[in-house]
Amino acid sequence: MAIFNRISRRHLLAEASGLFATAALVGRTGHCLAAESSSAKPQEMDLLNLSAVDAVNSMVHGELTAERYASALLARCEAGASLNAFITLEPQRVLEAARACDLKRRSGAALGLLHGLPIPVKDSINTADFPTTGGTPALRHFRPGEDAPVVHSLRAAGAIVLGKTNLHELSYGYTSNNHAYGAVHNPYDPTRNPGGSSGGTAAAIAYRMAPLGVAEDTEGSIRVPAALCGIAGFRPTTYRYSTKGAVPITPLFDQVGPHARSVADLLLFDSAVAGDTSPTRQTSLKGVRLGVVRSYWFTDLDPETERITEGALQKLRAAGVELIEGDLPELAKLVSLTTDQIQNHDVKPALTRYLAQYKAGVGFDTVLASASPDIRLIIGATLPGGSSFVSDAQYRAAVDVHLPALRSLYRDYFARAGVQAIVFPTTILPAPKIGAENTDVEVRGRKMAFDVAIARNIAPGSTAGLPGLVLPAGLSSDGLPVALEFDGPAGSDRALLQLGLGLEKVLGPLPGPKP
């Protein structure tokens, strides 16, 4: 349900066309969209395929104005409006901000790392000039008094907030099938979900509405949508980026992070938000050691996921990667004793604090009472008397005993195996149909709980607080993306992203979604 000010599509496309009368930017556009079959003009597609790095570089050097670039992205947003990627989109505000960026450049002022770059922001992250709905009805008109720190950092680096993206309501789900604001649709097949909870940001990036966006991940909400929409996603080590001003589930796991179509753009985001501008270069993969734990991450895979995963591992071997087979005993047990217990215990007090701190004007009970039935059922079950209620004693055991044991298990494994990251398929199967979350899914002729199929592989890393990089690995026979995840040791964010530059090159580009 996007809020569009009435700006003529013809005007927006006119702004975008004519930009590439010369071939100055052609060849720097990153992954190629299927432009031949698109109704968009080839010159427009060149522009839409620009990476964030190249778009900023072009605007800084005067090859491209921020206003023209913003106009092209806004036209693409309107063209893809049926994907329902945005809850709030105000083109006039975006164009005014872009004109201000152009004035700043012409004045000779110093320009930031993200000069003129429109960035979609998940609608669970506070913005002072847009509502922050959390995807739930009670917050429909909530306008925080200030930007979240991550948004403040992006604006300080010269970025423009493109709009607020749709999500699974209150970030409590894996599909972005939002019953209050409408389902987000997967750009590769609109009958399928884009993953959640940050499905709107992922759909926008995949459909070339922007090259870089803000998502948030408590238990997979960056990585699952990245995997199902065929883009790159990065969940940093927990606490690397501030999560203040984000609608919470638990402060122990919540973490904002980027969606993009290239690792270079993930690095750009990290530089702007973490303030780490240390030089990076593509890592040679020769002699790189990656851990493979088949007993947990590779069991019960969908045949297409297995086929593409094994093919991707063969590519990595051919590039010189050493795949180190091993095991992580007790992993499943420790995850089962920590992940749900901590989230289910913390969601009410964390959300209550957020609503009070940012003066939302409503309390937890009002938010829950106004929420969609599916969310009322899930979160209601975490309250006293509910089937998912966690006692204080269970919570303390999860936080003080089982979570430290999980982190220790990972530290010991990385030290013992000598690997730079663990590699595995991000999800057990490609994007399911919208509504499939209400039933079991079928994998290899057997019924499997939907949450297991989507969340089993991503839960350990975020619970332990590890950095996780998702990269597309290929398309299934149905044309759906399949991805690999690379989880590194806690604190290895920059090294993991640098490694990702080489991994991305070997895995190869993924064809973009058809219009």
Residue 197 falls in the annotated catalytic set: yes
Residue 122's closest CA among 81, 88, 164, 181? 164
Rounded to whole angstroms, the Cα distance separating 360 from 1 reads: 21
Residue among 153, 221, 462, 476 flagged as catalytic? 221
Upstream peptide bond of 197 is cis (omega within 30 degrees of 0): yes
Report residue 118 CA to chain centroid gap: 16
Q: Is 369 left (phi over 0), alpha (psi -120 to 50) or beta?
A: alpha
> Can 122 be counted among the known catalytic residues?
yes
Q: Considering only CA atoms, which of 500, 8, 14 is closest in space to residue 260?
A: 500
The tokens for 172 are 């409590």
Q: Exposed, middle or buried, 43 (CB in 10 Å: 0-12/13-18/19+)?
A: middle
If you search the block for the tokens 């993200």, which residue do you land on?
114
Q: One of 58, 153, 176, 197 is an active-site residue; which one?
A: 197
Structure tokens at 274: 């973490």
Strands (E), 136-270: 160-165, 177-178, 182-183, 212-217, 232-235, 255-260
Burial bucket for residue 315 (CB in 10 Å: 0-12, 13-18, 19+): middle
What DSSP letter does each residue of 414-467 carry, written as one string?
A: HHHHT-SEEEEESSSSSPPBTTGGGS-EEETTEEE-HHHHHHTTTHHHHHHT--
The single residue of 51, 58, 71, 122 carrying the catalytic annotation is 122
- Catalytic positions are 122, 197, 221
